[in-house]
């Protein structure tokens, strides 16, 4: 069992290194223009380097949590391309605000699965000396606005995910589909002990 775990860990590290190299190369070749546009659409600061670095950190964290659940990270990494158009079923971009220190963008399928929002909420970002995230935006990768039906479905998925791990008195979160035109903003606040 220990040998299998070590082998899976080595595979994950190798996959993550390859993914990061390809992702950074694509971003540098584009001079981060796609990330700059993404930030502008969400009315966020023009700091695409922070979006690049934050994305790398969040992808690494997601792979670690997936490995803890016994899931290989290759399927998840296949979704995490710099260009959303390079992923056939990348329906949404989820953009996290890592407590004002950086941003991160994950691509997820139109089923709104793949990431565990509760796990990421408690993840320490040692580089930034913060934990978790303060909010995130969900937007469509095709540039179209979210429909009312999509907003309702996403709100249900987010609620189910967070309420599975957090009790009602541990975490407050709310939705705002008017903060940024065409996107859904989810803001979170943990209760102090």
Name the residue range of residue 102's domain: 2-190
pTM: 0.92
Tell me the pLDDT tens digit for each residue of 116-158.
898 899 899 999 999 999 999 999 999 999 999 999 999 999 9
The rounded distance, in Å, linking the Cα atoms of 30 and 25 is: 9
Six-digit token string for 31: 């001079």
Report the 10 Å Cβ neighbour count for 54: 24
- Pairing, β 184-190 against β 171-176: antiparallel
Number of domains in the chain: 1
Tell me the pLDDT tens digit for each residue of 61-87.
999 888 777 777 888 899 999 999 998
The rounded distance, in Å, linking the Cα atoms of 68 and 120 is: 13
């Amino acid at each position: 069992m220990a040998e299998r775990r070590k082998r899976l860990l080595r595979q994950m590290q190798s996959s993550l290194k390859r993914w990061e190299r390809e992702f950074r190369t694509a971003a540098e070749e584009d001079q981060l223009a796609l990330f700059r546009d993404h930030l502008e659409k969400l009315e966020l600061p023009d700091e695409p380097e922070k979006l690049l670095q934050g994305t790398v950190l969040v992808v690494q964290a997601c792979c670690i949590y997936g490995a803890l659940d016994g899931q290989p990270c290759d399927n998840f990494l296949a979704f995490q391309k710099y260009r959303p158009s390079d992923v056939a079923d990348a329906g949404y971009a989820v953009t996290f605000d890592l407590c004002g220190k950086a941003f991160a963008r994950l691509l997820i399928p139109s089923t709104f699965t793949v990431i565990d929002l509760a796990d990421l909420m408690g993840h320490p970002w040692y580089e930034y000396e913060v934990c978790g995230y303060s909010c995130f935006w969900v937007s469509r990768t095709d540039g179209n606005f979210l429909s009312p039906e999509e907003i309702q479905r996403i709100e249900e998925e987010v609620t189910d995910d967070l309420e599975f791990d957090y009790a009602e008195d541990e975490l407050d979160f709310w939705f705002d589909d008017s903060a940024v035109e065409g996107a859904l903003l989810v803001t979170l606040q943990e209760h102090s002990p």
